[in-house]
Amino acid sequence: MRIESIVLRELKMRLKAPFETSSEITWNRRVLLVEVGVDGLHGWGEITAAEDPFYNAETTDTAWHVTRDFIVPLVIGQSVASADAIANLLDPIRGHEMAKAGMENAVWDIEAQQRGLPLAKLLGGTRQEIPSGVSMGIQASIPDLLAKIECELHAGYQRIKLKIKPGKDIEVVAAVRRQYPDIKLMVDANSAYRLEHLELLRTFDQYGLMMIEQPLAWDDIYEHSLLQAHLRTPICLDECIHNASHAEAAISLGACRVINVKLGRVGGHTRARHVHDLSVRHSIPVWCGGMLESGVGRAHNIAMSALPGFTLPGDVSASQRYWNEDVIEPEVEVSPVGTIRVPEKAGLGYGIRTKKVEELTVRQEQWRA
């Protein structure tokens, strides 16, 4: 595959409703899409960086800069035997995993098209459908939250993840558990707590949570190992895990019992598969996280979630939960039993609504070999 052309676009997309975590509120998304051309085929990837550096260090603008000034020069005109070689080409660039993932994943789409295989199959996926859960932003009130949960459960979603922060935690979880004693329930703190909160975090143990996601600092695996020793609830790491070595360290230290794999956070499909394979070897379940993606990122998440180690419902849910109109055709839909079908068509398995993409594009740059 010779990388002949690259188009980088920024799309302005407004979520249906604001999404609040312990660290930020997002309503307008600045979505970066990478389109790569090889031999008349076009592959698509999404750079999942947020607008601000409050989840990880990357932002829309750092990703644009690093893609334009460093990633494109390393890949344009290069010939690669398969998409995983892109990860090696990009190795000299430290960090910036989300920017790298956008490029690499677009090439995975092309390779799958060339081979006439669904991307999920090419990656080694074995599932025909994936279990789907929802991530619920922090809500203004508990009744608001309960009403929203009712809707999601009615739609079929298999598990509910609640965003929490100090002051909006135990009381919220207690209320949801009272209403729904048996649902699969978990919380995500996005690093809002410190080890000094140990007593508070221990009170979560009585609510039968599947896991507590990233309670402590975004870059501190060791402190999570100290915390996990005092909690019955499994810790799931998100922000802390940027590659398979981090995953290895976290598992060896006992810092987590579950891992959230995000394609962007670990630098694309090749690296995500490394984290997956390592987790499977250690009997650590993984699931696919989300970054409020457009349909392009969502389609890549679905392909990755078909791998055998993705045994828990992920944060990959229907397009319509986020967007009035998504950029893919068909949109991602969830069945009444909370599953998403893994597409069987070659490549990403969803078409790109190119007119819609053009309409939403606010900035664009292109390169030819």
192-212: burial string, b at 16+ Cβ within 10 Å, e else: bbeeebeeebeebeebebbbb
Task: Note whether 55 binds ligand OSB by CB under 6 A.
Answer: yes
Active site residues: 163, 262
238 binds ligand OSB (CB under 6 A): yes
User: Which of 212, 292, 303, 312 touches ligand OSB (CB under 6 A)?
Assistant: 292
Contact between 184 and 210 (Cβ < 8 Å): yes
Shorter beta-carbon distance to ligand OSB: residue 169 or 315? 315
Confirm or reject binding of residue 268 to ligand OSB (CB under 6 A): no
The stretch among 7-15, 76-84, 289-297, 304-312 that binds ligand OSB (CB under 6 A) is 289-297
Task: Pick one of 289, 295, 309, 349: the residue that binds ligand OSB (CB under 6 A).
Answer: 289
The full DSSP string for 64-108 is HHHIIIIIHHHHTT-B-SSTHHHHHHTTTS-S-HHHHHHHHHHHH
State the angle between helix axes of 142-155 and 170-179 in degrees (0 to 180), rounded to the nearest 10: 50
- Other CB atoms within 10 Å distance of the CB of residue 143: 10
Pick the binder of ligand OSB from 291, 328, 348, 352 (CB under 6 A): 291
Of 238 and 326, which CB lies nearer to Mg ion in the complex structure? 238
Contacts (CB under 5 A) with Mg ion, residues 187-246: 188, 213, 238
Amino acid identity of residue 103, one-letter, is M
Given the complex with ligand OSB, which of 122 and 211 has the nearer CB atom? 211
- Count residues contacting Mg ion (CB under 5 A)? 3
Q: What are phi and psi of 28, to 5 degrees?
A: -95, 125
CB of 138 to Mg ion, least distance (A): 13
Q: Looking at beta carbons only, is 116 or 166 nearer to Mg ion?
A: 166
The set of residues, in sequence order, having a beta carbon less than 8 Å from that of 360 and lying 6+ positions away, is 11, 12, 13, 31, 327
Asked if 84 touches Mg ion (CB under 5 A), the answer is: no
Give me the least distance between CB of 291 and ligand OSB, in Å please.
Answer: 5
